[in-house]
């Protein structure tokens, strides 16, 4: 099989490369995946995972590049929605991908342009491996 659904319900993994592809019609890899599905192919089912990696302290921030960290922290000074996410992220004892707020926060950061689609997928791949 070429693809595997992920437990997030919003991503698929391209097995030969390990790339995580968000369900986004503007993502070229998702378009290729959609065409693959249309051809009658079936992805491997998601594997149930009881827990995801936990990130604490500085490890939370290390998921993001220094440039991403600066962009988010800088925007938190002028955008109340970014500030709310940043504050909750900063004070959390740990983060994990099975927290719905983390999932929404990552999507929010991607929508605001702080994470490219590729980096968004890479952060999810790291958190769900």
In terms of domains, do 77 and 16 share one? no
Residue 17 falls within a domain, yes or no? yes
Average pLDDT, the chain: 90
- Containing structural domain, residue 85: 55-128
- The pLDDT-based confidence of 49 (bands split at 50, 70, 90) is low
Structure-token pair, residue 110: 């991607």
Domain count, the chain: 2
In terms of domains, do 69 and 124 share one? yes
Residue 46 falls within a domain, yes or no? no
Give the pLDDT confidence of 25-43 residue by residue, as tens digits: 888 999 999 999 999 999 9
Residue 50: its pLDDT value, please? 60
Residue 22: its pLDDT value, please? 86
In terms of domains, do 116 and 72 share one? yes
């Amino acid at each position: 099989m070429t693809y595997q659904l992920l437990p997030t319900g919003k991503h698929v993994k391209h097995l030969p490369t390990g790339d995580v592809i968000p369900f986004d019609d503007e993502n070229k890899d998702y378009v290729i995946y959609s065409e693959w599905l249309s051809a009658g192919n079936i992805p491997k089912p998601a594997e149930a995972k009881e827990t995801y990696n936990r990130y604490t302290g500085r490890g939370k921030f290390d998921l993001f590049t220094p440039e991403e960290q600066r962009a988010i922290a800088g925007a938190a000074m002028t955008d109340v929605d970014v500030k709310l996410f940043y504050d909750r992220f900063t004070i959390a004892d740990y983060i994990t991908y099975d927290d719905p707020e983390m999932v929404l926060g990552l999507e929010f950061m991607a929508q605001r342009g702080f994470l490219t689609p590729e980096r968004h997928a890479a952060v999810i791949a790291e958190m769900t491996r």
